[in-house]
Structure 1
Amino acid sequence: MRVNCVGAIIFDASDRLLLIKRGHPPGMGLWSIPGGRLEPGETDAAGVRREVLEETGLHVEVGRLAGTVDRPGPGGVTYVIRDYLASVSGGVPTAGDDAADVRWCGLDELARLPLAEGLLESLTGWGVLPS
């Protein structure tokens, strides 16, 4: 079974990436970009806005599709994840929903954090990380 998911790639004015620490499986304890499953009938853009607000307390404007990845899930599920660039339009970063923590992370810090599998490779491959 394939499950449609979305994620948000958000940078601040200092080129720091917004990350959340997963509070539940899959990936509990790992840092990733905010996102999750689409609800029935929900558009990608609406899903990105909802997931970011639920997990970080931030309102975002959704930009272009950065890339798509397939990740294996429990019970033979495949998560089809479409990650979009987004920019903050309001709110204060506060961990919520299934996020145990939220933070802005400099590129030099990414290599030192326990990141979700394939995250850094995908962001690098899509050419979305600031140089």
Structure 2
Amino acid sequence: MTDMPRFGVSVLCRRADGVLLVRRGKAPYLGFWSLPGGLVEFGEAMRDAASRELLEETAVVADLDAEPTEVFDLITRNDAGETERHFVIAMFRATYLSGDVCAGDDAAEAAFVPLGRIGELDLTPGTADRIRHHFTRA
């Protein structure tokens, strides 16, 4: 446990009527589906980190928006109410350009999922609402 938030990025990547998701291969939320992403490295710009994480986790190259479309907190607490994890996440919207989807890095699985099937998956907290909101705005 650390007493400082960690800064990360995620990517909402669209292709036709689908959104690119990864099934997490490690904690937190092991086995849950989420947007591809990860931590920003020291000295790395957010957008560069988002492109890197997208490629590492899915083998996909995409055209990312110039700026994040949303920045949000992901805070988990234990039963005593103490903070266990605190991430600040910058989410970028993107449009698929190339690459055959293949899970890599810490992703157990990766796939483009039709928007209508999002509700069938176990998603990390807030992900379904975030996808629906931003998918329809793009």
Q: TM-score, normalised by structure 1?
A: 0.89
Structure 2: gaps spanning 5 or more residues: 78-82
Q: Which residue of 1 aligns with 2:75?
A: 72
Q: Which residue of 2 aligns with 1:37?
A: 39
Tell me which of 82, 87, 91 is aligned to 2:95.
Answer: 87
One-letter identity of the residue aligned with 2:116: D
Q: Which residue of 2 aligns with 1:9?
A: 12
3-state secondary structure, aligned to 2:116: helix
Instruction: Report sequence identity in percent.
Output: 30
One-letter identity of the residue aligned with 1:72: I
The count of aligned residue pairs is 128
The reply to whether residue 116 of structure 1 matches residue 124 of structure 2 is yes
3-state secondary structure, aligned to 2:69: strand
One-letter identity of the residue aligned with 2:71: T
Alpha-carbon distance in 1 for matches of 2:76, 2:103 = 24
Larger gyration radius, structure 1 or structure 2: 2
Q: TM-score, normalised by structure 2?
A: 0.85
3-state secondary structure, aligned to 1:82: strand
